[in-house]
Structure 1
Amino acid sequence: MGACACEGENLDILSSKVITARKAHKCSECGKEIRSGENYQKFVGVTSEGMFESKMCLFCYNVVKDLRSMGYCVVFDGLWNLVEQIERGDV
C-alpha cells in the first residue's frame, strides 16, 4: 500500500479497507464505539516494532484523509493531538 515516515516513525501499510463490523469495536483515534453493522476503516501494517492493526471510524478516517491532502503527516493514534496543535497554531 505504501510507506509513511512521520517524525522518525517508519510505517508500512499492508492493507487498508472498509469493513462492516460484525461485532462492536472501538475507534483507535477517537475511542467511539463502532457498532455491529457500521462500516469502519481497517488497517494492517508493520513498523520497526512489529505488526499492528488499527480500526478507525469513518469520521476519523475522513479527517485523516483531509489533513493528509493538506500536507499534514498524521500518525496512528495521533489524529486528535494533531488537530489540537493545528487549532493552537503550533504546527
Structure 2
Amino acid sequence: MEIILNDKTYVMPRVKTRMLRRAIEINENTDFNNLKTKDLDGLVDFVVELYGNKFGRDDFYDGLDADKLIDTLNSSINGIVGNLGKKLNEFPNK
C-alpha cells in the first residue's frame, strides 16, 4: 500500500504482527462515527508508524487533502486487517 503526501509517495513496508494487533485494537476501541481530536491523532500516529515513520503527524495533516482522510485511514487500517481475514479463510479446517 502507498500514501501520497504533498506529491511525495510513501510505500508501506512489510507489516509486523504487532501492528496488525494494534489495527484490530483500534477497530475495537474507536467510535468512527464520533471521532474526537485525540482519536484522530491516535489514528494518524498509527498510520505514521505503519509507514515506518518516514513522515510525521504534521506531514500527514498538512500533506493530505481533507477529502482523502477517511479513505486513507480506512485503507491503511482495514487493509492489513482484511489481509489477515483472507489468509484465515485460506487456512484448511481440520
TM-score by length of 1: 0.29
Counting strand residues as a fraction of each chain, which structure ranks higher? 1
Larger helix share, 1 or 2: 2
Q: Which has the higher contact order (CA 8 A, sep 6+)?
A: 2
